[in-house]
């Protein structure tokens, strides 16, 4: 199982696919989602989706640094 919801926080037990990240991105339209202790916003997840699609590999959630 890729993702577990525990007390309002998502716990990623493995790298997440572009499909799973896209679903999380939909949730993050209204408010940020908490994944493995990281608060991720819609645009953070959009960048992760792009990375997963570009590489063809699942990715671990990480905070994106603007710049």
| pLDDT tens for each residue of 28-56 | 999 999 999 999 999 999 999 999 999 99
Give the whole-angstrom CA distance, residue 31 versus residue 39: 10
In this prediction, residue 14 carries a pLDDT of: 94
Compute the mean pLDDT over every residue in the chain, rounded to the nearest whole number. 91
Q: Exposed (0-12), middle (13-18) or buried (19+): which is 28, by Cβ within 10 Å?
A: buried
Q: Record the pTM.
A: 0.86
pLDDT at residue number 20: 95
Q: Which residues pair with 5 in a beta bridge?
A: 10
Tell me if 25 is assigned to some domain: yes
Residue 66 included in any domain:
no
Q: Is residue 62 part of a domain?
A: no
Residue 9 pLDDT: 95
* Token duo for residue 45: 């997840």
Number of structural domains in the chain: 1
Domain of residue 30, residue span: 3-55
């Amino acid at each position: 199982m890729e993702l577990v919801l525990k007390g309002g926080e998502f716990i990623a037990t493995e790298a997440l696919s572009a499909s799973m990240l896209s679903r999380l991105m939909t949730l993050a339209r209204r408010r940020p989602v908490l994944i493995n202790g990281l608060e991720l916003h819609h645009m953070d997840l959009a960048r992760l989706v792009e990375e997963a699609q570009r590489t063809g590999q699942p990715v671990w959630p990480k905070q994106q640094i603007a710049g």
